[in-house]
Amino acid sequence: MPYDRIKPALLCGLVALGSVAAIHSDELLDGVDARTLAMTCTSCHGSDGLSAGPAVPSIGGMNPGYFVKIMEGFRSGEIYSVTMGRIAKGYSDAEIERLADYFHDRPFVPAKQDFDPELAAQGRELHDHYCERCHSEGGIALEGEEYHILAGQWVTYLRNAMEDFRTGRRPLDKKMKRKLDRLLEREGETSLDALLAFYASQQ
């Protein structure tokens, strides 16, 4: 076959091959199983986001928008972390969104933990007065609320998170800061123990 006829045929073949490769690449990206992506999370957050350790939150049922916001905060360094910043940097934006949807679809299972019933009763009143407007239904995080679940979450984790908020290691929006400052000013430090007991009681 003359060269001038081979060249167009070869060019068409390369274009077709490139198109197939591009389609195959997209299919590979789309085919990344969310469960596979989530395997990195299992060692700390447990199977399907059900944490077995009190210092690590259960993340099943988390609002997807909140999940993305937190991961972006870890990745940028806005939220202080020992390991999560490094882990978050390993995911692309698309992968983080896929993880957000995956964990949102997993059920949240309240942690089985001890609590003081009398303190929990006080905490219920404090929650209703200071926290309920944002953390609805006692802190269960209704669909569409960009907060994570407080009710039934591990108390050790919540206590550590609260300390991070108060010391600036974790950003605190103005509305929450006003509420927290008002709570501590009016009710004292023990009010936090009461709130945490209330969240722990919801099993």
Q: Is 41 annotated as a binding residue?
A: yes
Place of tokens 């200071």: 130
In contact, 191 and 199? CB cutoff 8 Å: no
- Determine whether the annotation assigns residue 12 to a binding site: no
Q: How many CB atoms lie within 10 A of CB 50?
A: 16
Centre a 10 Å sphere on the Cβ of residue 34 and count the other Cβ atoms it contains: 14
The structure tokens listed for 184 are 């501590």
Flag whether 62 is marked binding: no
Of 13, 11, 10, 170, give the one whose Cα is nearest residue 81.
170
Residue 45: in which H helix or E strand, if any? helix 39-45
In angstroms, the CA 17 to CA 11 distance is: 10
Residues forming the annotated binding site? Answer: 41, 44-45, 84, 131, 134-135, 176
Residues forming the annotated binding site for heme c? Answer: 41, 44-45, 84, 131, 134-135, 176
